[in-house]
Amino acid sequence: MNNNIPTTASAFVWTGRVDTEETGPSPRWHQRVQPLGPGARGGVTLMGFAVDEGVRRNGGRPGAAQGPQALRTALASLPVLGEPALFDAGDVVCEADALESAQAQLATRVADAVARGSLPLVLGGGHEVAWGTFQGIVQGGQAPARLLIVNLDAHFDLRVAAQGNSGTPFRQMQQWCEARGLPFTYRVFGISRFANTQALFERADALGVGYWLDEVLQDSAGLQAAQQALAQDLAACDAVYLTVCLDVLPGGQAPGVSAPAALGVPLWLAEALIDQVLASGRVIAADIAELNPAMDRDGLTARVAARVAARIARGATAQRP
């Protein structure tokens, strides 16, 4: 095998609880998800990014490559409550250190989903997944000048590095936009003043990045202020790329990540922001990053990630204005 070529992992077998004695509708995800076929249109297309090479390059704790399988396992027995058609396009994996090839393969799958009128929902994997998702949006011809990037994250991920990694994806997007004379509209909710250097704060300010600190997003007053600003951004954009890094959540709610948060944004508040983005009807791609089963406790982070994934899938039924 050529170790520089990304390959596809074995297909996940969707199994789970079956309520055979129930009298009313009781379908669960494992009964609804279909393998991606040539006739698949609309709905949501799941695809895994079983890669943590970017985390390794960034000096983090490896293990996120097992994230997509753990997330599917947690999703399998969730009840179906309004989800559209669900398709599974399998996983992209990375042999040796071929991160860029894996990101390119992911981009192809994202672009294919976009072309089929399906919402690509990428299950990570380290947050280097974001660069692959963004390239797929571009390849799918769905990167309008007014693309809004919404990131729920404790980190800016605007690092400067010789090689792309889990800390560089939004810097890579900014450079791509700058090279083409396009605006870079990037908003981050949950930034920690104890997880980002002064250089990163200064870079974010210089690039016009809008961000809200985790210490502000702790109560209804903080949420309301953030939602007011987000509403203005959503009204001014043509499309949204939504990316959720699980390390935005408190370490007690999401221990299974490379860098658990000491404070974090409570799940209820993060979900309110996600719901607002979905309600705009403008989301064209989404991903969930940093699930690390090796660091999880009782599968809690996988369950949280599954809740977020199902929420996004249900929100995909929103009609674009």
Could you give the number of structural domains in the chain? 1
Q: Over 60: is that where the pLDDT of 7 sits? A: no
Q: Does residue 136 form part of some domain?
A: yes
Tell me, yes or no, whether 15 lies in a domain.
Answer: no
pLDDT band with cut points at 50, 70 and 90 for residue 10: low
Q: What is the mean pLDDT of residues 249-272?
A: 98
Q: What is the pLDDT of residues 127-166, one digit of tens each?
A: 999 999 999 999 987 667 899 999 999 999 999 999 999 9
Q: Residue 187 carries which side chain, given as an amino acid letter?
A: R
In a domain, 122, yes or no: yes
Q: 304 in a domain, yes or no?
A: yes
Range of the domain at 135: 41-315
For the stretch 37-78, pLDDT in tens is 888 899 999 999 999 999 999 999 999 999 999 999 999 999
Does residue 28 fall inside a structural domain? Answer: no
Bridge partners (DSSP) listed for residue 210: 187
Specify if 16 maps to a domain.
Answer: no
Asked whether residue 178 is assigned to any structural domain, the reply reads: yes
What's the one-letter identity of residue 29? W
Q: For the chain, give the mean pLDDT.
A: 93
Tokens 């490559």 sit on residue: 65
Residue 14 is assigned to a structural domain of this protein: no
Query: Rounded distance, CA 66 to CA 68, Å?
Result: 6
Coil/strand/helix, residue 79 = strand
Distance (Å, rounded) from C-alpha 19 to C-alpha 26?
Answer: 7
CATH of the domain at 58: 3.40.800.10
Biggest CA pair distance of the chain:
60
